[in-house]
Each structure stands twice: as C-alpha cells, then as structure tokens.
Structure 1
C-alpha cells in the first residue's frame, strides 16, 4: 500500500471514529440521537501531596473538592472533603474536613471546611482553610493554622498563601479554574 493510500485510510478511520463518538443509537428504532453534552463543573481541587520537611516529618494533604456547574455563583455550595495529617517519631494526628467553600483562579485554589473527624482536639469542629498552587512541577500549599493565634475561626473561603513546598515527586494537585459568568450590560 502506498503512502497516499495509507494516509487516506487513516484519515477515514479517524473520521469514522469521531463521527461514531458524536451520536448514539436510540434503543428500539436505530435513529441516531446526538450524544449528551458534558457539563463542566464550575471549579475543583483534587490530588494528594506530601510537604517537604528535612527533619523527616510525614505531612500529607489530600483533596476531593468540587463546585457543581449549577452552583457557579455560590462557592459556599461546594462539596467534598479534604484530609491532612502530620506524623513524626510515632506521634501526630490527622483531620478530615467537610468542604464548605471552594474558590479557584488559574492554578490557585482556596478551600475551607469544618473538621468532621480528627484525633487532634485543637481541630475538633473547627473550620480550617487550605490554599494550593498547582504549577505542575513545584506545587505549593498553605494553611490557616499558622501564626500566633492558631485557635482563630477561619471564615469561609479564606486561608494563608501557599507558602509550603511540596516534596518532590508527590504533588499531583489539579485545580480546575472557576469561570464566572459576568453580566454583559
């Protein structure tokens, strides 16, 4: 088979594949029906990473936070959970928070949530905030319990800037940027 014939055959196969993906066969009457359009969620933060600590601390953050398309103008309607833990020398603890707000912009996300499960009394039933910068190679993270007053109740959608380095090879954060629909008039 010559090169031109191969090129035409490959192009035809690609077109057939793409065409088949765009329609679905209705049950019962073989009439093609357009495939349902996929609705993009308004914002999301997912992934897991360990923080860099030269002293050997095991600090891990995991996120599964989402803002549905229907809630695009209400970041406090976000859902999901996030988890963090800090262990060293057999001591430490963990917490799981239920998401109550998510905002994203470009590759940065801020998520807050009320702690619903923990073995650390200082976090029990507190709202905490975490920020993430997802730059693909050198992800960063920040959290609200830094500073003198770590008992401060954090308002929804607020946290510290992403000041911590993620341990090399562990950051797989994915930030889906929020796309706000602005009025045109």
Structure 2
C-alpha cells in the first residue's frame, strides 16, 4: 500500500478560531447530512468523536457523532440518521487523501464499522501519538491543556447519550469536549 505522506515536510501550526467564534450545526435531517458531506469533501482533514452507550445492552450503540473542521463543528444525531450515515459519509472516511483526527480511536473505529459500515483510512490518533512521544500523560484532557491551553470539561463523558431531545448542556459539551482534537 502506498502511503499518502511519502515526503513529510514540517508544517506550521494553524491557529484555530476561539470556541465561542466557531459555529456549530446539529445534523438531524438527511439534507443536513448531505450538506455536511459536501463540506467534508472540500476539506483536507476533519476530527471525529463518538458518544456511545452500552447501559443494559450487550454491544451498545453509537448515540452521537461529532465532526469538526477547522472552522465548524457538527453534531450528528445518529438515531435520526442511522440508515443514512454510512451512505453519505463512508467514502469520505475511507478517502486516503483526507486526514481523520481522533483520540484513542480503538473503540470508535469498531463502532463506526459495526453501526455504519464506515472504515477509516489515513487516521491520526492523538492518543497513539502521545504514546509514541512518551508523554507523561496520554489523555485528551492533558493534551488539550498542554498544547492548546484549553481546559477540557469531562463532566458529561459518561452521560446517557440516548436522551432525546439532547439537553443544551450536553450539546455544548459535545461541541467543546474534544474541540478539533
């Protein structure tokens, strides 16, 4: 297999917009998912996180998908779009020219495959990078604080993400907890 980044060159970090200035959209309708797919088609990279629940369930299910570009955040309601997520996003996730950024993606990768038939190519896992770099801590919370000066709020990390409608506090958490890892 040929790798995309054959000749790695040093790139300067890109300053992101402050969280308060970053727009976010809730994706609950097929037309919104189609617009998200079009947006992802136009970017070189995007970050992904999933919220999962397995309370009283053998395998559990993916309850929410957060996708961020450098300028926008999206919260995809997987319950409302379950049958459409794979068909609209599958090609984008497997495109080796688009970098996908996740943190500790081991389980997320399994959930994407199991629930939506999505396979990921060209993944940069910040959790794995922290291991390779032998950082003192590997958590996303540590990486955000150390490299970005952002204090991560993990208050709703283990919340019941099956709740609908999603409370405002959980929506805010979903857009800020892993803000463009």
- Fold agreement, TM-score > 0.5: no
Category of TM-score, reference length = shorter chain: under 0.3
Larger radius of gyration: 1
TM-score, normalised to structure 1, is: 0.25
Q: Which has the higher strand share?
A: 1
